[in-house]
Amino acid sequence: MEKSSGIGTLKGIGAKTEQLFHNLGVYTIGDILLHYPKDYDKLPPITPLEEISSCLETTAAIAVRIDKAPFVRAGRNMQVTSLAVKAQDVKAEFVWFRMPYLRNTLKVGEWFVFLGKVAQKGTVFHMEQPQIYTPEKYESMQNCLWPSYPLTAGLKKNRLSQTIRQALEELDLSVDYLPEEVRARHGLAEYNYALENIHFPENETALEQARKRLVFDEFFKFILAAGMQKEQMEEVPNSFVFPPLHMETENPDAKKQEKAWADLVMEELPFCLTEAQKRTLLEIRQDLRGRKVMQRLVQGDVGSGKTIIAFLSMLDAAQAGYQSALMAPTEVLAMQHYQTFTELFERYGLKIPVILLTGSLTAKEKRHVYERMQLYHNAMIIGTHALIQERALYDNLALVITDEQHRFGVKQRETLFLKGSQPHVLVMSATPIPRTLAIILYGDLDISVIDEVPARRLPIKSCVVGKKSRNTSYEFLRKEIAKGRQAYVICPLVEESEGLEAENVTDYAEKIKQEMPGNVVVECLHGKMKSGRKNLIMEQFARNEIQVLVSTTVIEVGVNVPNATVMMIEDAQRFGLAQLHQLRGRVGRGEEQSYCIMVNTTDSDKAKKRLEILNKSNDGFFIAGEDLKLRGPGDFFGIRQSGLLEFRLGDIYQNADLLKLASEEAHLLLEEDRKLERPEHEKIRAEISTYLNRQAEIVNL
C-alpha cells in the first residue's frame, strides 16, 4: 500500500464512501493522513449508573456491573442485542445492532464502561451502540485525546477515525526524510510518531511534539521548494524591450505623442492613485525595464487597490507590444477582473484584446481562446489556474501577475514562469505578513508594500452580536436594502453537516428569504456549484439583481461589488481573524458607510474578545498582531488562520520561531547542495517533488 493509492483501496471502503471522502478533498491514502483533526476532546470521566441522569444528552462513560445476561432478538432486518442494567432504582438499557456476538463479551458479574450518548425513554435511560471498555482499559485511556475531524454529510466521525487508523497501520511510515541530525538539533519527533500522535495523541505532550514536527515540515518544505525555485530563476536577463519611462521633470507637451498609456489612463481615472499605489507602480515599471526579469511581491491590505496596479502594469506591457496574464485563484474573481478590465477599455477607448480563460470553457471555446492568443501579440489574458494547467499557448508573454498569491502554491508560480520565455513575475497578496516573515517566505522576491488605503473611504463599522440580536440584524439589512444597498451573509457550511452545529448557506438562504420583503432577491453561492452558475450569480449580484448573497467563504478573496454595504457573518467565531478581515474587506469599497455584523453563536467570552479585535481596527497587520497576543504562542487549539498560504497546521505568526528554524535549516541544506542532488539527500528531494506535485493539485477552489 502506497500513500498515492486511492482511498478506495482500503478495506471496507466502497464506491459510496469513497465519494464522501472525495467531498472532503481526500483522494489518496496520503491525503487522509493529512486530514488533521480540527480539535481534540478528552474522554469523559467515569460516572456510576446511579448518576446517569446528570449526563442526559451528553456523551458519557457509564460504569456498570452486569447482573443479567444480554438479550438478543431478531429485529426487522437485523439482530438487536440489548442489555438491561440497574442500580438502586435507576434503570438503563444499552442497545447494539448487528452485534449478537457481544453476548460472549458481556458476562454476568463483570464490570464494564459504556461510552455513548445518553438518552431517556420514559423512566429508562438509553444508549445506542455504546463503545465497550473494561474499567482498566478505560482508565488507561483517560489521558488520551480524541480527535474530532472536519466532516461531510454522511460520513460519521467513527468511520473517519477508523479509516485513519487503518491507513496508519497499513502504510510503512518508518522512513523519515528529515535527516537525523536536523531532528536532533531541534528536538523534533520522528515522522511516524508525529503522524500517529497528531491523530491519536497519547497525551497533550505527545500532541505538542507531533505538532511541532509537522509544522516544521510544512515550513521546511515550503522554503526548500521556494529556494530551489529561486535557484532556477535567479538572474534571468531581461530580454523584453520597453520604452523608457518619462519622468515628471521632462516637458510633458513635447512628449505628448509618446506618452505611456498607463500614464494617460492614470490621469483620467475617477480617483487619484494613493502615494503608495504610485510608488508601487513605479517600482514595477522600473523592473519591467530592468537588467533582469522582475520577481516582485506586492503586499497591500484588502481594499488598498491592487487591481488597478495590475491593470496599469499590463497596459504598459501591451503598449510595448507584449502579452500579459493575470491569474486569479477563483473563477468568480477571474470573471470579475475580466469585467473590470473590459469596462476600463471601453471607457478609455483602448483597443487591446482582453481574453478570459477559465477551466469551465468548453473545448470549442477553449480552441477559440487559443486562436486569439496566437493572433493577438499584445493581448491581456485573464484566468484561473486553467491558465497553467491547460497547455495554454502564449505567443509573446512578457508579464505574469498572480492575484491573491497566498492561495497559490510555489509550484504554480514556477509553472507559469516556465511558460513562454521567462516573463516578468508579479504576485499580489492581501495577507498581512510582517516584513521579516515575508522575507523568509518569499525570499526569492522583491517586495512592494501598499500601506495606505484610498482616503475618501469611510471606515467600516463593525460589531459583534449574539444569536439573540439576529432579528435586529435582519431589520438592519432590510433598511440598507431599502436604501438601494446590498448585503452579503456568510455561513461556514455549504449544507447541513453531521456533527457540526453551524449555519449552512442552503438552509440559511431559505430562512432569510422569509425575513425579507417579497421583492428582495436572495441567492446562495458556494464552491460546490457549477462555475457557470457561480459566475451568473456573481454577475447578477454585481448588477444589483440580487440584493442578499448568502455565501460560503468563496467570496473571501478579491470580490469587488462597491454597492454592497453590509457583511453579516454567521458563526463568526469559527473563522480566523485574518479571514474575517478579508471577508469584511468585501464591503466598504464604495463611498457609502459600510457595516460588518459578526454573529458569535457561542457564549464563550474568549471568542467574543477575539472577535472584538476586529472592532478596534481595519488594519490587517494590527489584527494579526493582536490575534497572536490574545491566543498566545502555546494555544494551538486556536482557530487556524485558514486561507493563509498553504499551511495546514502551521501558523506563521504563532509558529514564527519554527518558521525561522525551518528557514535556517532549509538554507543550510541548499548551501551545501543547491539542487539536492547528492545521494544522501535523495529522500528529501523525493519529498519535495511530491510536495510540489501536490501543491499543483490543491489550488483552493
Residue ranges binding ligand ADP (CB under 6 A): 271-274, 277, 300, 302-308, 430, 454, 558, 560, 562, 589
The residues with which 73 forms a beta bridge, in sequence order, are 80
Q: Which residue's CB is nearer to ligand ADP, number 273 or number 699?
A: 273
Q: How far is the CB of 376 from ligand ADP (least distance, A)?
A: 25
Interacting partner of 359 out of Mg ion, ligand ADP, none (Cβ under 5 to 8 A depending on kind):
none
Q: Please give the Cα distance from 560 to 555 (Å, whole number).
A: 9
For residue 8, the partner it binds in ligand ADP, Mg ion, none, with Cβ less than 5 to 8 A by kind, is: none
Tell me whether residue 306 or residue 470 sits nearer to Mg ion (CB atom).
Answer: 306
Contact call for residues 18 and 174 (beta carbons, < 8 A)? no
Grid cell of 542 as nine digits: 454585481
Residue 589: name its binding partner from Mg ion, ligand ADP, none (Cβ under 5 to 8 Å by kind): ligand ADP
CB of 337 to Mg ion, least distance (A): 8
CB closer to ligand ADP, 62 vs 344: 344
By beta carbon distance, the residue nearest Mg ion is: 558
Residue 386: φ, ψ to 5°: -55, -30
Q: What is the closest distance, in whole angstroms, from the C-beta atom of residue 15 to ligand ADP in the complex?
A: 42
Please state the φ and ψ torsions of residue 354, each to the nearest 5 degrees.
Answer: -110, 130
Q: Sketch the per residue contact string, 539 through 568, with Mg ion: x for CB under 5 A, - otherwise.
A: -------------------x----------
- Please give the residues from 304 up to 323 whose contact with Mg ion meets the rule CB under 5 A: 306
Nearer to Mg ion, 217 or 556 (CB): 556
Size of the site for Mg ion (CB under 5 A): 2
- Provide long-range contacts, Cβ within 8 A and 24+ apart, for 33-37: 33/3, 33/164, 33/167, 33/168, 33/171, 33/195, 33/199, 34/648, 35/149, 35/150, 35/160, 35/164, 36/198, 36/199, 36/214, 36/648, 36/649, 37/147, 37/148, 37/149, 37/198, 37/199
Question: Which option in Mg ion, ligand ADP, none does residue 454 bind, with CB closer than 5 to 8 A by kind?
Answer: ligand ADP
All cell numbers assigned to 326: 493575470
Residue pair 384/361 in contact by the 8 Å Cβ criterion: no
CB of 272 to ligand ADP, least distance (A): 6
464 three-class SS = strand
Q: Cβ 480 to Mg ion, closest distance in Å?
A: 24
Q: How far is the CB of 634 from Mg ion (least distance, A)?
A: 34
Residues 6+ apart with CB under 8 A from 394: 323, 325, 373, 381, 419, 420
Three-state SS for 97? strand
Q: Which is nearer to Mg ion, 8 or 590 (CB)?
A: 590
**β-strands 323-327, 59-65 pairing:** unpaired
Instruction: Rank residues 273 and 649 by Cβ distance to ligand ADP and give the closer one.
Output: 273
Cβ-based nearer residue to ligand ADP, 59 or 560: 560
Site for Mg ion contains 620 (CB under 5 A): no
Q: Under the criterion CB under 5 A, does residue 201 sit at the interface with Mg ion?
A: no
Minimum Å distance from CB 247 to ligand ADP? 21
CB contact set of 696 (below 8 Å; sequence gap of 6+): 409, 411, 412, 415
Nearest CB to ligand ADP, comparing residues 305 and 329: 305
Q: How far is the CB of 192 from ligand ADP (least distance, A)?
A: 43
Please, are residues 448 and 284 in contact by the beta-carbon 8 Å criterion? yes
| Alpha-carbon span 339 to 543, nearest angstrom | 12
577 with 610: CB under 8 angstroms? yes
**Residue 585 sits in the site that holds Mg ion (CB under 5 A):** no
Binding site for Mg ion (CB under 5 A): 306, 558
